Structure 1
Amino acid sequence: MLQGYAVEDVRAAEAQVRGRLPYGELMQRAARGLAAVVRERAAERRATGVVVLAGPGDNGGDALHAAALLAGPLKVTAVGIARDLHARGLAAATRAGVVVHHVAPDGPLPTLVEDLLSRADLVVDGLLGMGARPGLRGAMAAALDAVPDTAYLISVDLPSGVDPAGIRPPGTTSLGDALHGRCVRDAARAEETVTFGMLKPAHLLPATEPAVGRLTVVDIGVPTGRRPVVERLEPADAARLWPVPGAGDHKYSRGVLGVVAGSDTYPGAAVLCTTAAVEAGAGMVRYLGPRRCADLVLAACPEVVPGPGRMQAAVVGPGIEPHGCDHPDCDDQVERVREAFADQELALVVDAGALPLLAGWLATGGRRAAPTLLTPHAGELAQLLADVGEDRPTREQVEADPVGHARRAAALTGCTVLLKGATTLVVDPDPAVSVRSQADAPHWLATAGAGDVLAGVAGVLLAGGLDPRDAGSLAAMVHGLAAGRANPGGPARALAVARGVPGVVASLLRG
């Protein structure tokens, strides 16, 4: 499992180790690890030279010491953008024969440096680290803008300019919005980030992760004996968590999942949700919904049992119109959802149209005691916060601070919140519990019906006995991997994602 730690905990852990080592040893370990990665990427790209961007402080020191280690086999040029560079790092680079161009941070970028960067194939970004305030200005921003899209940019510890806590400043838009340019929304956009010892929240959280690129962790001997603030499941965790039946199991002991989904307007949601549940290995799936939807569900999945009965968990909401419609079945679906809320022994996944119904039910004094997982996207989360009495944030505000908004929703509802997105978050109502963050899906998964599939998989895991936090994060992981496997490198329709779930699960269980 990947784990990210609060910046103050990272600093404390590094200081503790630094106090036991000879002066500068921790930086030398980081520089050796960084240089090894740069050499490997240079060999892969057949690059003969590298440009190192160095700023003030320890990040610049790491970059300059790495430049000294790289000089010789590679042609290394450094650009120092600071009033004062790290003294020992600068001395080491100079002794190794590295040409260092000094640039004033508030001045223009010299034409010579701009030309050097525009021709670069491999660039190391050591401008700013976790001690700097977020954002890039002046010559630093200009230098990163001068790096061409064809170059491979390796950031040291963090992409320069990102908030190490993983929060984007108000008023900015997603780091992932822009496809071109190196200085994106006041932060570097790296192909790879090389970090040392302990991950920071910025490496794993959605507001900043798009800038990180490939993440490489170098062990420099800093122990992680602190509580992480963010976690990410890896394949070994999936194999440990997935409920695997034993010789004595039967369909009821494996978990029966009810699905309250679909409407006259959105019948496909019922098909996608139940298909995903069947493919994910539910002991039994019961469908409760309109006759037309039931006919479509049974045509797609004859294993599904229509009608009420014994259930361990239910998915409520996909394709449901919470405010009713002209079709009489709509009122029936809304009533089924409310009945599910009131069943305090039934674990629930609450999705889409059931979210505003939950807010209304909570407003009447209702409270869920059974495990409950809410699965909104950013727009739905903004509306949910308004529905439960908060000032309504914009979708952009939710995307700028997804953790903060998801935590507020979890606290107000008493439910675990899975906030869908390119990086999906799972937030527990207890603020002391680490946030889970999964980024396993290709961007092709942003397609209609994908959320219905995710809800079905999460429901099966709840029915199988997992708690909402594990069910949500594991479902997000498998859902994302199934999307990548459905059509590698190209579009993936939601139904194909559902069909890909069994193969992904089998692969994860094999290890």
Structure 2
Amino acid sequence: MTQYVCTAAAMRAAEQKLFDAHPGTDLMAVAAGQVAAQARGMLADLGCGVRGGSVLVLVGGGNNGGDGLLAAAELADEGCHVRVCPVLGTPHAAGWQVALRAGCEVVTMEQAGQVVPDLVIDAVLGIGGRPGIPDDLARLGEQLSAASWLAVDLPSGLDANSGAVTTSLRADVTVTFAARKWCHVAPPAAERCGRVDVVDIGVEPGGSDGVPKCADGWTSVVDEDDLARLWPVPDPGDDKYSRGVVGMDTGSSQYPGAALLGTLGALRTGAGMVRYVGPRRPADLVLAAMPSVVLADGRVQAWVVGSGWGQDDPAANGRRLQQRCVDGVPMVIDADALSLLPAELPDGCLLTPHAGELARMLGVDRDEVRENPRESAAEAARRFGATVLLKGAIQWMADPNGHVVEPTPSEILDVADHPGAGQMPAGQAGCAAALPGPAWTGQAGSGDVLAGVCGTLLAAGVSAGWAGLLGASLQALTACRHPGPWSPDQLAGFFPEIIGACRRPSFP
């Protein structure tokens, strides 16, 4: 993965590392040049261009305002009509002088609201700002809502470290530096950022040792290129067994649909064979809908368990789980099985809780998980000795062994077969997030489908961390490509199309 999301503190540390290595670096000038370049592009898209366009730059104190002032000067030098409006504190002194020398017009907030420009550049608060903005700035944002908006680093008022929303400005485009921050990817804040463009200013991701680690505030995020590179594709010599046999012990008479959905997810994503061994009623439904499913126990490369078991008979469910653990193969453990985890799990297990289930597993309040999803997933991974995919608006993967970092295609395979593949330094938990998707997927049954998809990947030899990330990212990408209220089974019907577009088989 080459895409990262970081905390504000992690970005400041990375900037300091650059300053220490190159004391003469003028990051503000570099950043301002990128802001001006974005503004040129937006003015061109509006049809007015730089010389015919009008720009209002809202500037706060500090470096974010300095970026905006230098960008304002650059645009004014090129013939743009630029007004600058000081907001919240004393403007950056050097940047202010540069903007005045370039001929920028200074206006008050009251004057700024009287004329709607082509483009507003929001350079008020940066990643170090506190959440929220004053009422007068919020009113100005409403008055100028007809203009196009470009935010520097983030729309003022958002918290760089979360998806929480208070009073804030909005942007059509946000230009940020080196890496996305959490407000850019986590809803609902992400919706206020518009299109987010990450630009290079010479800052390298990572802590003091140069390695981007969860502990230092850096998280890898799967993108479409990862799916294209890493989704397993059969070789000419593969057959149904070598492609991977998935065992499904899911569903119940009360929840037969979970068995259908999970099995569909497995079949639609390339399983060589699916064995279903659950209760009779869901078994009959599965076979009627998918005649290629085998209703017989036998050797498998991965199990999917827990989806749709129900909670009426915990003792029976516990025996059901233990029976599958005896096989010693990787498992996707979902839903009702998550509250029945034995002291020791087979190697390569993937736990797939949502926030409520993870809260019960950790013995904490659900709100704590929602407020600290990454930390909660990492704690569960450490506590249970298994990889955790926390489902939600942002889907977090935490691997206590740290097996997720910039893999080559061969390195997604299980580390039992490829020792040391893709590992972070010892003791560092791997932490990553799946490709974000639309909220349409947040419905009953989506998790059942996802469990089956992850089972297919585990059976193909993909490590638990990558099985979770790739499976969740496929579901998100499919929903992005086919927007709207598709049911989970309908959306799964598009999986072959999306996988086929991403990967071409290695045979004609």
TM-score by length of 1: 0.83
Q: Which deviates more from structure 2 when the two are superposed, residues 343-352 or residues 61-70?
A: 343-352
Tell me how far 1:188 sits from its aligned partner: 4.1
Task: Give the counterpart of 2:320 among 326, 336, 352.
Answer: 336
Distance in 1, matches of 2:139 and 2:353, equals 39
Distance in 1, matches of 2:170 and 2:464, equals 34
**Where does structure 2 lack aligned partners over 5 or more consecutive residues?**
213-217, 402-426
Tell me how far 1:427 sits from its aligned partner: 1.4
Partner SS state of residue 176, structure 2: strand
Task: Give the counterpart of 1:347 among 326, 330, 355.
Answer: 330
Q: What residue is the counterpart of 1:453 in the other structure?
A: 449
Q: Do the aligned partners of 2:317 and 2:337 also contact (CA within 8 Å) in 1?
A: no
Structure 1 residues 166-214: Cα deviation after superposition (integer angstroms, max 9, x where no partner): 24xxxxxx64xxxxxxxx4144443332112344455445685444432
Q: What residue is the counterpart of 1:227 in the other structure?
A: 211
Q: What residue is the counterpart of 1:477 in the other structure?
A: 473
Q: What residue is the counterpart of 2:151 in the other structure?
A: 155
Task: Give the counterpart of 1:280 among 259, 265, 269.
Answer: 269
Distance in 1, matches of 2:396 and 2:229, equals 20
Distance in 2, matches of 1:31 and 1:143, equals 26
Task: Give the counterpart of 1:214 among 178, 182, 195.
Answer: 195
Q: Do the aligned partners of 1:279 and 1:502 also contact (CA within 8 Å) in 2?
A: yes
Distance in 1, matches of 2:472 and 2:383, equals 23
Q: Do the aligned partners of 1:81 and 1:139 also contact (CA within 8 Å) in 2?
A: no
Tell me how far 1:256 sits from its aligned partner: 0.9
Partner SS state of residue 126, structure 2: coil
Q: Check if 1:196 corresponds to 2:177.
A: yes
Partner SS state of residue 353, structure 1: helix
Partner SS state of residue 306, structure 1: coil
Q: Check if 1:70 corresponds to 2:75.
A: yes
Q: Do the aligned partners of 1:195 and 1:216 also contact (CA within 8 Å) in 2?
A: yes
Instruction: Report the CA distance shift for 1:468/1:185 in structure 2 as closer, same or farther (over 3 A).
Output: same
Residues 400-411 of structure 1 correspond to what in structure 2 (within 5 A)? 400-411=371-382
Q: What residue is the counterpart of 2:111 in the other structure?
A: 112
Q: What residue is the counterpart of 1:509 in the other structure?
A: 503
Task: Give the counterpart of 2:106 among 100, 109, 133.
Answer: 100
Q: What residue is the counterpart of 1:311 in the other structure?
A: 300
Tell me how far 1:408 sits from its aligned partner: 2.1
Partner SS state of residue 469, structure 1: helix
Distance in 2, matches of 1:246 and 1:68, equals 58
Q: Do the aligned partners of 1:347 and 1:462 also contact (CA within 8 Å) in 2?
A: yes
Q: Which deviates more from structure 2 when the two are superposed, residues 421-430 or residues 33-42?
A: 421-430
Give the percent of matched residue pairs that are identical in Structure 1 and Structure 2: 41
Q: Do the aligned partners of 1:159 and 1:187 also contact (CA within 8 Å) in 2?
A: yes
Task: Give the counterpart of 2:233 among 238, 244, 249.
Answer: 244
Instruction: Report the CA distance shift for 1:354/1:115 in structure 2 as closer, same or farther (over 3 A).
Output: farther
Give the AA of the match of 2:347.
A
Tell me how far 1:6 sits from its aligned partner: 5.0
TM-score by length of 2: 0.84
Instruction: Report the CA distance shift for 1:95/1:240 in structure 2 as closer, same or farther (over 3 A).
Output: same
Distance in 2, matches of 1:426 and 1:120, equals 44
Give the AA of the match of 2:128.
G
Tell me how far 1:141 sits from its aligned partner: 5.1
Give the AA of the match of 1:400.
E
Q: Check if 1:123 corresponds to 2:124.
A: no
Q: Check if 1:415 corresponds to 2:386.
A: yes
Count the aligned residue pairs.
Answer: 466
Distance in 1, matches of 2:190 and 2:246, equals 34
Distance in 1, matches of 2:395 and 2:502, equals 20
Partner SS state of residue 305, structure 1: coil
Distance in 1, matches of 2:301 and 2:140, equals 54
Distance in 1, matches of 2:184 and 2:315, equals 45
